[in-house]
Amino acid sequence: MCGIIGCVGCGDETLSTLMHGLSKLEYRGYDSAGVALVGSGGLRVDKTAGEIAALESSVADRDDLSGTVGVGHTRWSTHGPPTDDNAHPHRDCAGRVAVVHNGIIENYRELRDELSASGHTFDSDTDTEVVPHLVEAGLDAGNDPERAFRDAVARLEGSYALACVVEGTEAVLVARNDSPLVLGIDDDATYLASDVPAFRAFTDRVVYLEDGDVARLTPAGWSVTGADGRPREPAVETVEWDAEDTGKSGYDHFMLKEIHEQPRALRQCLRGRVDELGGDVTLEELDDLAVDRAHLVAAGTSYHAAVYGARLLRADGVPAQAFLSHEYAVAPPPMEDATVVGVSQSGETADTLAATRTARRRGAETLALTNTVGSTMARECDHVCYIRSGPEIGVAATKTFAGQQTALNLLSQRLADGPVDRELLAALRDLPGDVQAVLDGTDAEAVAETYLDAEAYFFIGRALQQAVAMEGALKMKEITYRHAEGFAAGELKHGTLALVTPDTPVVAAVTGDDEAARKTVGSIKEVEARGAPVVAVTDGRADVERYVDHVLEIPETHPRTAAILANVQLQLLAYHTAAKLGRPVDKPRNLAKSVTVE
């Protein structure tokens, strides 16, 4: 759950290129950061605990920090607390080798014991530090740096994206296994990073590395060797994202920007896929997909999208179930010829990758529903459907959740046996405008202000709105650090009602006027009787205004799209609560954007 960066061929700009990359990768983790450069002055390293800003001020004081090749790292702790020592890059005993790493080396204890026994001393508590010492051992044995690096990598078990520099060698050595790693190709320079935004300002040509690949980046160019040890010539692809897509554009936080980007993101998601007058849904990339039964696997926000999607599929006659991917990987249910749908914004979520891999091993057909073209999940699965939300930087997922919900509607219509639901197609075409109407007219900020001192927040909803309630609570706890719970409204009286007091606002998503809505109104009356303030997110059809303290309105629409609109109000409620509490909205403590470790 870290970010790595490296570059060769940048000359005097090497340090600034690395710092720029780190700032773009900060969303991946941010409890410490560091850089290593190799130049005529030898190997120089600077690293420090804290955000990138701490490293920036530290490197500003170092006039010896120069070089023509370099690597950098931003860390989110998995082994050992965030300290200067535990920050990457890590070095060998002699200070000739520096390594940055994203992932987990599972056999590091054995390797460490072995290296310690042969005289190596370790400065940190990290798993990573075994790598530079292994390389050092290879150099001591008389091998050249590339050979020493390859031998070291061969000893490692676990997941890693590694980048290594060696004193006296104008090259960066790179290896990948189960952790994201991409090369950026420019005329004079070559970059590597965990994710494209790190070098997108410099080039749009990229090479996605495969598991088992080892690459060597030199001023003369780059070369890749595959898992079988033979040279490989992977395709150079062009990414479409604009570097400036990742700026804050006048908003206080990326999260707020991304919330406001939802109309545009949903237009992208729907473009060319819905033909309202012709009554048709097309998902070009899924032409040959037939599904009898579906298992949706996901974690976090994506899991809530999966819960929502599974309901849609079941209503459309496709037996479907949502599973937490980390549970699915270790305790899979009977497959029964199910198609396994991995739902992951980044396509790199280690837990969900483990689940789709488990499914593949068991012979299941797999489908990736992701935002990231070229991601590991997109490449590994048999089919892929993109949600086309554009880059998302805020750790709390917003527009990508709406994108997942929308894409799942399309998928469900595409897989349904019966005729398409024309009312739904019209509602989907209206969706971007409806989201805009919610953004224009929301009272979420005032509601957030009212309940800033709440002890806890409860979110309830039935049927499709259950998934929304769960997601609303997750958003709230992620960024406000307040306790929040979301669940099916019917569960209230089976336990949580005991916690409901006048200091615990209950947020209820009530849309339409069907049985689910009427029953949710019943649940609202239950909490009302306990003196809890109630906030209703409603289209006004269930006549719920009489029982509640605040109303967050959404336009009247199809029940399926109502669940997308209701969620927008909950995003805004969580955002404004967090912003008023002064939380670091885009980078909540202990969390990282794409969870690339299991």
Partner 1 sequence: MNVTTGVVLAAGEGTRMRPLTHDRPKTMLPAADRPVLEHVLDVLVDCGLERIRLVVGYERDRVQEHFGHAHRDVPLTYVRQRKQLGSGHALQQAAGAVEPPVLVLNGDRVIGEDVVAGVLEAFDGRPTVGALEHPEPSKYGAVRVDDGRLTELVERPDDGDYRLINAGVYAFDERVFDAADRTARRDGELQLPDVIGTLMDDGEVRAVRTDGLWGDATYPWDLLYLNRELLARERVDRPRREEAVWVADSARVHGTATLQPPVVVGPDVEVAAGAVVGPNVTVGRNGTVGANVTLRNAVLDADCRVGDGATLADCVAGRKVAVGVGSAVVGGPGDVHVEGRVFEDRALGAVLADRATVGGGVTVAPGTLVGADATVGDGVFLSGTVADGAEVVR
Note the residues at the interface with partner 1 (CB under 8 A): 242, 244-245, 247-251, 257, 260-261, 263-264, 267, 270-272, 275-278, 429-430, 432-434, 436-437, 439-441, 555
Nearer to partner 1, 114 or 556 (CB): 556
Nearer to partner 1, 376 or 557 (CB): 557
- Alpha-carbon distance of 189 to 10, in angstroms, equals 6
Residue carrying structure tokens 């909540």: 588
Q: Closest approach of Cβ 585 to partner 1, in Å?
A: 16
Task: Give the angle subtended at the CA of 178 by the CAs of 209 and 400, to the nearest 5°.
Answer: 85
- Alpha-carbon distance of 386 to 378, in angstroms, equals 9
Nearest-CA neighbor of 1 among 21, 35, 30? 30
Q: Per the structure block, which two tokens stand in for 372?
A: 């990231």
Nearer to partner 1, 81 or 433 (CB): 433
φ, ψ (nearest 5 deg) of residue 358: -55, -45
Task: Give the angle subtended at the CA of 269 by the CAs of 266 and 270, to the nearest 5°.
Answer: 90
What is the end-to-end Cα distance of the chain in Å, rounded? 10
Nearer to partner 1, 106 or 242 (CB): 242
Q: Closest approach of Cβ 14 to partner 1, in Å?
A: 24
- Alpha-carbon distance of 153 to 28, in angstroms, equals 24
593 belongs to the catalytic site? yes
272 CB burial (10 A radius; 0-12, 13-18, 19+): exposed
Nearer to partner 1, 391 or 461 (CB): 391
Give the DSSP per-residue string, 208-219: EPPTT-EEEEET
Task: Give the angle subtended at the CA of 446 by the CAs of 440 and 451, to the nearest 5°.
Answer: 140
Q: Closest approach of Cβ 159 to partner 1, in Å?
A: 33
- Alpha-carbon distance of 237 to 551, in angstroms, equals 48
Rg (alpha carbons) of the chain, rounded to whole number: 25
Nearer to partner 1, 263 or 342 (CB): 263
The H or E element spanning position 469 is helix 464-480
Q: Closest approach of Cβ 251 to partner 1, in Å?
A: 6
Nearest-CA neighbor of 302 among 373, 353, 236, 360? 353
Query: What is the CB-side half-sphere exposure of residue 484 using CA atoms within 13 A?
Result: 30
- Alpha-carbon distance of 304 to 38, in angstroms, equals 46
Q: Per the structure block, which two tokens stand in for 401?
A: 């959740």
SS3 of residue 582 by DSSP:
coil
Q: Closest approach of Cβ 561 to partner 1, in Å?
A: 14
Nearer to partner 1, 442 or 520 (CB): 442
Nearer to partner 1, 257 or 482 (CB): 257
- Alpha-carbon distance of 283 to 84, in angstroms, equals 49
Nearer to partner 1, 136 or 434 (CB): 434
Q: Closest approach of Cβ 146 to partner 1, in Å?
A: 39
Nearest-CA neighbor of 269 among 495, 476, 564, 33? 564
10 belongs to the catalytic site? no
Q: Per the structure block, which two tokens stand in for 505?
A: 């606002």
The H or E element spanning position 8 is strand 3-8
- Alpha-carbon distance of 258 to 256, in angstroms, equals 5
Q: Closest approach of Cβ 209 to partner 1, in Å?
A: 29
- Alpha-carbon distance of 278 to 429, in angstroms, equals 13
Nearer to partner 1, 99 or 283 (CB): 283
* Distance from the Cα of residue 509 to its chain's centroid: 26
Q: Closest approach of Cβ 432 to partner 1, in Å?
A: 7
Among 2, 10, 164, 269, the active-site one is 2
- Alpha-carbon distance of 118 to 427, in angstroms, equals 68
Q: Closest approach of Cβ 436 to partner 1, in Å?
A: 7
**8 A C-beta contact, residue 468 and residue 461:** yes
- Alpha-carbon distance of 128 to 37, in angstroms, equals 18
Q: Closest approach of Cβ 553 to partner 1, in Å?
A: 11
- Alpha-carbon distance of 179 to 345, in angstroms, equals 15
Q: Closest approach of Cβ 247 to partner 1, in Å?
A: 3
Among 24, 47, 587, 593, the active-site one is 593
Nearer to partner 1, 270 or 468 (CB): 270
User: Which residues are annotated as catalytic?
Assistant: 2, 593
